Amino acid sequence: MKKIIGVGLLLFTSIKGIPKMYTVEELKAKPSIFKEVGMIGPPFETMEEKDDDNIETTITRLIREETPFSISEIRLHEIISEDFNLIPKRPDIFTRYAYASLKSDPPKEILELPDIDISFAGWHPLCEMYDKFTRVETLPILNHFKRNSHYAKLCHLILS
């Protein structure tokens, strides 16, 4: 069975002194990975053969395809290379993630994303994500992010 790796990007900014995460809404369902229309969360991208098993290459493509930002506008803080098996009944799919922040203030409005399967869903504090309809990967990844001091480190970086 071929291993499939999905990569998530937790992209943050500070809005009025509060760390908020960039989120997208799914506009297209993918039942094979339990993705439904209307789910909200950070952007995810599948690592492809052309990425040469390089998570940074996948993240670069994710930024280009699923955000309105250029690579130069984003500061990548850390890549979490641990594999998470989070998709029910899919032992072949693993999730990894990275966290990053915008180098400047976010735009007031984000009108259009390169990927037509998603739309911008807003900047949300992490605590709000627990009340949203999210992809199955989202909450376990956020829990890992908070539990392992990554969130505290990020807050220090973007709020200081």
* Alpha carbon 153 to chain centroid, angstroms: 17
- Average pLDDT of every residue of the chain: 92
Distances from the Cα of 21 to the Cα of 3, 5, 114, 151, angstroms: 28, 22, 19, 11
How do residues 1-35 score in pLDDT, each as one tens digit?
Answer: 788 999 999 999 999 999 999 999 999 999 989 99
For the entire predicted model, the pTM comes to 0.93
Comparison of pLDDT for 156 and 76, the residue scoring more: 76
Q: Per-residue pLDDT averaged across 43-55, rounded?
A: 91
The total of structural domains in the chain comes to: 1
Q: How far is CA 77 from CA 54, 56, 135, 153, 159, in A?
A: 16, 12, 23, 9, 14
**H or E element that contains 153:** helix 150-159
**Domain of 60, in residue numbers:** 4-159
Q: Give me the CATH number covering residue 12.
A: 3.90.79.10
d(CA 116, CA 87): 23
pLDDT band at 111 (very low <50, low <70, confident <90, very high): low
Question: In percent, how much of the chain has pLDDT > 90?
Answer: 72
Given a cut of 90, whether residue 49 has pLDDT beyond it is no
**Span 83-105, average pLDDT:** 93
Closest among 30, 37, 107 to 45, alpha carbons compared:
30
Q: What local confidence, expressed as pLDDT, does residue 55 receive? A: 92
